[in-house]
Chains A and B, each alone.
Chain A
């Protein structure tokens, strides 16, 4: 015991862990009727660590080339011990992560948790949304199967429609004019190096800021009552832990009962599969672009749609600066209506996207 204590002291002198422990002990989580939403940030972070762990394991066998990618994933799921599990968990966890992220984000939005002094926490969170979507888009291509190939073709084509910068972006993403092995190689680079690096910095900042500011209490509750609190360590953390353990169970069940399909190898000369659709988190945008008329006031409908989504993204990042006095009067109503409209729009368009042929 003495040896451990002296080691702790040695480390504390150099790293100041005592103060971290003190801070953790002091940290409290407010208790009120909306506290349930506090768990989704932790869940998103947990699923991210699942992605990192399973991603590293997949890297041991994955080969990022048009000649070897499909075969290496096939090898992982057929020959490697528990390779099927790792690959399926990675794919399922990616989807659950995006879902948890959406829930976390909208709960923060509706609870106006982005208000001062948490603007930068919100911005880093919004940027993490874009990074996660980037992870999803780049990772989808990596098995180099038919669906992924054409989804990437369509996805990058949409990016190419943007005036002036569209074509250079398309060429940058594809590594040429067409989706080829060069695209796969750079998507791999984005997926395992560029995006993780950016994500690590953003997540670090995001989590640090949450620790600095503590959990935000919705304005209405803050004004009317002094909410009870719960110790973060161990009470809240243990509750988080139950959620994470159950998430592992859900991932295992999904992987065993619904293994993520590999499909057929990509073939640039084959015709696109009928009714090709992107991943569910892109579907609402894809469906909207499909419904836009070819021309809107002499301007290209698709271009306007893409610019519209771009502006929407910018609006989303800047929400804390547009709604400086949340929880009060008319402005709160307007932002709530906007939020509800966005949620309903995303849900309806996603369902329509799935139902329509």
Chain B
């Protein structure tokens, strides 16, 4: 018999209540029949499914365009990897026409809404036909926004397009045409790590930008920035790229007065402190772009303590000279520099002590508080208050001094151990020598070694 009693009972249930034949050979025959039927059913399902797929692919558009010159057949190939195709859309869903007609004129019948290649002006409406239709978009991606065309109209691109400028970016300039991918697809031209390059294709082109009188070095500058480093080197997709500051569909340069709001999206603490600082009012009056005045915009470098002082690399001295602000900058710069140097010294000393085999992990852990305090004080630079920064740095300085002393103690302890060892070894060797002499003394007198 095959299986346990329970297993046999369950097999009977599977065979719709019919009892299994008693012999194993009969059971095998029946199993072969059942498996054959199941295999045929599966095959039938896949044949049906593939016929449905091939129906899409064998529209008259595809049949004819596949055979044409590369300019006209390329869209057929690139559409294979398009997100729209994966959602079940075909050529006629955007271009109109009748894909069931083999005759060219009938297939491209304008009465069927046929549009061959939309002009730049037509493109936003062309895409917006679906993308601005909330009811329609819900069927494909309920979370996708449907205001892109509206936003686009507010962008510099959109405004210039409305004025008849055919050279400005439209939907297809950024998203591509027939090989459009979802923005979270790493192959997409608008994937976070690809956005800057996509924008740079036009904005990095000197000839293209010349008529507009705007710079064309933003992409190059951005590539050297702290943000690009985070995005490209650390693969941090949350690091800002072009659209995070300029917007995407509503792309426009943030005005000088709103830059702080843009940066403050991520650097909220710094923005908050700056708003309350004595710099806020004069910056507004002078129409200085708040954050970018000190940090620049596209090529933002990692901030350094020297930026806050009055020495080389200082940004304060570009406005302050022999005034109260200059003195404050001097104090802030020296305070930050002193604490930072002390922390580095303590770290270096503790590292050396650790390499020498001393246990300093407690001090190393404790020193983190000093580093945290320094980081907080660096943020407080946006208050422009030397007193407040000094107050924040005092515990950090005390901590670094204490842990530097711990490193020094480790070395004095090490030196004590080495000296102690030297003394002990002298004593130990002396003792061993004494015992040796004792042995010689014993063995030289009576005949202690017998034969």
Which residues of chain A have a CB within 8 Å of any CB of chain B?
Answer: 28, 31, 74, 77-78, 84-85, 228-231, 234-235, 238-239, 241-242, 245-246, 248-249, 252-253, 256-259, 261-262, 264
A242 to B449, alpha carbons, bound, how many Å?
A: 19
**Contact A256 to B421, CB < 8 A, known contacts A31-B449, A74-B361:** yes
A231 CB contact (under 8 Å) in B359, B420, B431, B448: B448
Pairwise interchain contact B439-A239, C-beta atoms closer than 8 A:
yes
A228 to B447, alpha carbons, bound, how many Å?
A: 12
With A74-B361, A256-B418 known, 6 other A-B pairs at CB within 8 A are A84-B359, A231-B448, A234-B442, A252-B425, A258-B357, A259-B358
Chain A residues near B362: list those with CB within 8 A. 74, 78
Q: Determine the residue in chain A with the shortest Cβ distance to B431.
A: A245
A38 to B353, alpha carbons, bound, how many Å?
A: 42
SS class of chain B's interface: helix, strand, loop or mixed?
Answer: helix
Chain B residues near A31: list those with CB within 8 A. 449
Pairwise interchain contact A242-B424, C-beta atoms closer than 8 A:
no
Pairwise interchain contact B428-A230, C-beta atoms closer than 8 A:
no
Q: How far is the CB of A129 from chain B (nearest CB, A)?
A: 29
Q: How far is the CB of A104 from chain B (nearest CB, A)?
A: 21
8 contacts between A and B (CB under 8 A): A78-B362, A85-B417, A228-B450, A228-B451, A238-B435, A252-B428, A256-B421, A259-B358
Pairwise interchain contact B359-A242, C-beta atoms closer than 8 A:
no
Chain B residues near A77: list those with CB within 8 A. 359
Within 8 A of A (CB), among B416-440: 417-418, 420-421, 424-425, 428-429, 431-432, 435-436, 438-439
A259 to B431, alpha carbons, bound, how many Å?
A: 25
Q: In this assembly, does B151 line the interface, its C-beta being within 8 Å of a C-beta of chain A?
A: no
Q: Determine the residue in chain A with the shortest Cβ distance to B416.
A: A256
In the A-B complex, list the 9 residue pairs whose CB atoms are closest, starting with the nearest.
A256-B421, A249-B428, A259-B357, A256-B417, A245-B432, A77-B359, A238-B439, A242-B432, A242-B435
Within 8 A of A (CB), among B27-86: none
Q: In this assembly, does B443 line the interface, its C-beta being within 8 Å of a C-beta of chain A?
A: yes
A257 CB contact (under 8 Å) in B421, B424, B450: B421
Pairwise interchain contact A256-B420, C-beta atoms closer than 8 A:
yes
A228 CB contact (under 8 Å) in B357, B358, B442, B449: B449
Which residues of chain B have a CB within 8 Å of any CB of chain A?
Answer: 357-359, 361-362, 417-418, 420-421, 424-425, 428-429, 431-432, 435-436, 438-439, 442-443, 448-451
Q: How far is the CB of A91 from chain B (nearest CB, A)?
A: 12
Chain A residues near B451: list those with CB within 8 A. 228
Chain B residues near A241: list those with CB within 8 A. 435
Q: How far is the CB of A4 from chain B (nearest CB, A)?
A: 23
**Contact A246 to B420, CB < 8 A, known contacts A74-B359, A230-B448:** no
Q: How far is the CB of A35 from chain B (nearest CB, A)?
A: 12
Chain B residues near A230: list those with CB within 8 A. 448-449
Pairwise interchain contact B428-A248, C-beta atoms closer than 8 A:
yes
Q: Determine the residue in chain B with the shortest Cβ distance to A254.
A: B421
Chain A residues near B428: list those with CB within 8 A. 245-246, 248-249, 252
Pairwise interchain contact B418-A249, C-beta atoms closer than 8 A:
no
Chain A residues near B361: list those with CB within 8 A. 74, 262, 264
Q: How far is the CB of A72 from chain B (nearest CB, A)?
A: 13
Pairwise interchain contact A249-B357, C-beta atoms closer than 8 A:
no
Pairwise interchain contact B436-A242, C-beta atoms closer than 8 A:
yes
Q: How far is the CB of B153 from chain A (nearest CB, A)?
A: 52
**Contact A246 to B357, CB < 8 A, known contacts A235-B443, A256-B420, A257-B421:** no
Q: How far is the CB of A218 from chain B (nearest CB, A)?
A: 19
Pairwise interchain contact A246-B432, C-beta atoms closer than 8 A:
yes
Q: How far is the CB of B300 from chain A (nearest CB, A)?
A: 35
Chain B residues near A249: list those with CB within 8 A. 424-425, 428-429, 432
Chain A residues near B417: list those with CB within 8 A. 84-85, 256
Pairwise interchain contact A262-B359, C-beta atoms closer than 8 A:
yes
Pairwise interchain contact A252-B421, C-beta atoms closer than 8 A:
yes
Chain B residues near A246: list those with CB within 8 A. 428, 432
Q: Determine the residue in chain A with the shortest Cβ distance to B436.
A: A242
**Contact A229 to B439, CB < 8 A, known contacts A248-B428, A258-B357, A262-B361:** no
Q: How far is the CB of B125 from chain A (nearest CB, A)?
A: 54
Chain A residues near B436: list those with CB within 8 A. 242
Q: How far is the CB of B408 from chain A (nearest CB, A)?
A: 15
Q: Determine the residue in chain A with the shortest Cβ distance to B363.
A: A78
A235 CB contact (under 8 Å) in B420, B421, B429, B448: B448
Pairwise interchain contact A252-B424, C-beta atoms closer than 8 A:
yes
Chain A residues near B424: list those with CB within 8 A. 249, 252
A78 CB contact (under 8 Å) in B359, B432, B435, B438: B359
A316 to B269, alpha carbons, bound, how many Å?
A: 71
B435 CB contact (under 8 Å) in A85, A228, A245: A245
A238 to B435, alpha carbons, bound, how many Å?
A: 7
